[in-house]
Amino acid sequence: MNKKYIGLIGGAVAGVVLAVLLVNSAKIEGTNSFTNLDDTVTYTMTELFKSPPPITEHGWNVDRMIVFVHILMAILFVGWTIYFFVCLFKFNESNHPKADYHGAKSKLWTTLAEYGVIAAEVVLIFCFAIPLWGEVMNDAKLAEIKANAKDDTGLEIHILAKQFDWSARYAGNDKIFAQQDIRFADKSNNPFGLDPNDTSIDDVLVLAAKDRKGAIVVPADTAVALKITSMDVIHSFKVLPLRVCKDAIPGLQLPIHFEVKTEYLDENQKNKDGEHVFLITCAQLCGDGHGSMNGYLKIVSKKDFKTWLEAKSTAAKISRKKNLAAVK
């Protein structure tokens, strides 16, 4: 067999074996959860990258993926730098005064290294990245969350981006989202396009999440499905501690889901009202006010969320009736 093919096969096998040994040596606790390197992951993300700790399970998996990729890149950087200087020394003019157009005769080790790297990258993509993406974008999970919203074991929230603020809509006490119509849409007062003459609508609207008092509220320990869109240009909904970042595109309703875990919430990071509040930012350049397009997301207990939603829904229905009566 041609030595070239022996090297290719050997490099591929070596890379796969190395990757399998790494995966098998790790503790596996669910999809993409390889916890043996968690101390390294935590230190790298919090101390080196200055990133707040994740408060979702998939967030830890995102951090693991990021660190694994950086470890591979660090190994490649060091390895190829050493190889570069070895080549400079070994093949300089003093060692080879006469040019050799055939080059090095033995390429086994370089071939092993090259195809070992390729095999490791393939393992990272197919064993880590793709399953992690599939976990976050799981259509069956999204459908399950929406179905569970009927009995309060799940929650669906509609997120609407507009220059330069965030809005949110919840199904009210009737657990049904009201119909929308573009004819009624108004960027300032009615961005979701709800019928102003329908007094049965009890949807809860958060129209200005930029105000801390009007923050988007999410219950802890509850699977949440977001449906994200935009009213004008492309934005991107990002909450770093959630490890959630999703584009908001006009004409599209893009889904993503997460679940905040109480065990990951730091009690020392509560505000003066005893609540966890996190910053929402826009991760897409969306105009001259992009830098100020932020909002707030507040995490509360299941009990407090239920109380808040019921009160807001009742108040919204009463307010719509009063406003319609005043117009007439």
Write out the residue range of the structural domain in which residue 116 sits: 3-136
The residues near 243 (Cβ < 8 Å, ≥ 6 apart) are 54, 56, 58, 59, 62, 63, 258
Answer yes or no: do 130 and 180 share one domain: no
Does 141 reside within a domain? no
DSSP 221: T
Q: Can you give the pLDDT at residue 29? A: 45
Q: Of 19, 21, 35, which is closest to residue 122 (Cα–Cα)? A: 19
Task: Verify that 111 and 75 share a domain, yes or no.
Answer: yes
Quick: pLDDT tens for 272-315.
Answer: 777 899 999 999 999 999 999 999 999 999 999 999 999 999 99
Does one domain contain both 92 and 211? no
Query: Of 136, 164, 193, which marks where a domain is finished?
Result: 136
Statement to judge: residues 168 and 30 lie in one domain? no
Give the pLDDT of residue 200. 86
- Number of domains comprising the chain: 2
The predicted pLDDT at position 310 comes to 94
Residue 270 lies in a domain: yes
Residues of the chain with pLDDT under 50: 24-32
Q: Are residues 301 and 273 in the same domain?
A: yes
pLDDT at 13: 63
Residues 283 and 163 in one domain: yes
Q: Which conformational region is residue 170 in: left (phi greater than 0), alpha (psi within -120 to 50 degrees), or beta?
A: beta
pLDDT confidence of residue 128: 78
Domain final position from 92, 107, 136: 136
pLDDT at 103: 65
**309-315 CB contacts, 8 Å cutoff, 24+ apart:** 309/170, 309/172, 309/173, 309/204, 309/217, 310/173, 312/170, 312/172, 312/204, 313/170, 313/172, 313/173, 313/202, 313/203, 313/204, 314/173, 314/202
pLDDT tens-digit series, residues 137-151: 888 999 999 999 988
Same domain, yes or no, for 124 and 210?
no
